[in-house]
Amino acid sequence: MSLELKDLSSVVIGAAIEVHRQLGPGFLESIYENSPRIELRKRGVVAEFQKEVRVFYDGEMVGLHRVDLLVADQLVVELKAIKAHDDVHFAQVRSYLKALNLKHGLLINFATHPLTVKRVIAPTE
């Protein structure tokens, strides 16, 4: 299924809303990391879960990121179950975007009511 980024974001947000509607806040982050897999699959969206992304310096690996969701090789999605988003969470998504050379991400918090979704754009260099 090939979707434009805007449509892809809408499908991911819709899936997150459905997970939040069914589960509500109150679970550990791992529950919210696993549940969207089912909802996205039902919607026909290809996503990689806990995608490992290696970071290199001068040809040598210097770090490893684990992205909660990489959707259709276009959209980074970081899933949280926290009281509130903090600057460090936005920096985390921007770091993933840089490592993957992508421009757009979503930061989704399942611990709030209603569900909190923030768009994250890679900084221009």
Tens digit of each residue's pLDDT, the chain (125 residues): 456 988 999 999 999 999 999 999 999 999 999 999 999 999 999 999 999 999 999 999 999 999 999 999 999 999 999 999 999 999 999 999 999 999 999 999 999 999 999 999 998 86
- Sign of dihedral through CA atoms 24, 35, 12, 88? positive
| Phi and psi angles of residue 12, each rounded to the nearest 5 degrees, phi first | -65, -45
Closest CA to 122 of 76, 81, 84, 85: 76
Q: Which of 39, 47, 55 is nearest to 76 (CA)?
A: 47
Per-residue confidence (pLDDT) for residue 125, from 0 to 100:
67
Cβ partners under 8 Å of residue 71, min gap 6: 8, 12, 40, 45, 46, 47, 77
Question: For the purposes of burial, counting CB atoms within 10 Å of the CB of 61, is it exposed (0-12), middle (13-18) or buried (19 or more)?
Answer: exposed
The domain spans of the chain are: 5-121
CATH 3.90.320.10 fits 5-121, yes or no: yes
**Predicted pLDDT at 5:** 86
Q: What is the pLDDT of residue 1?
A: 41
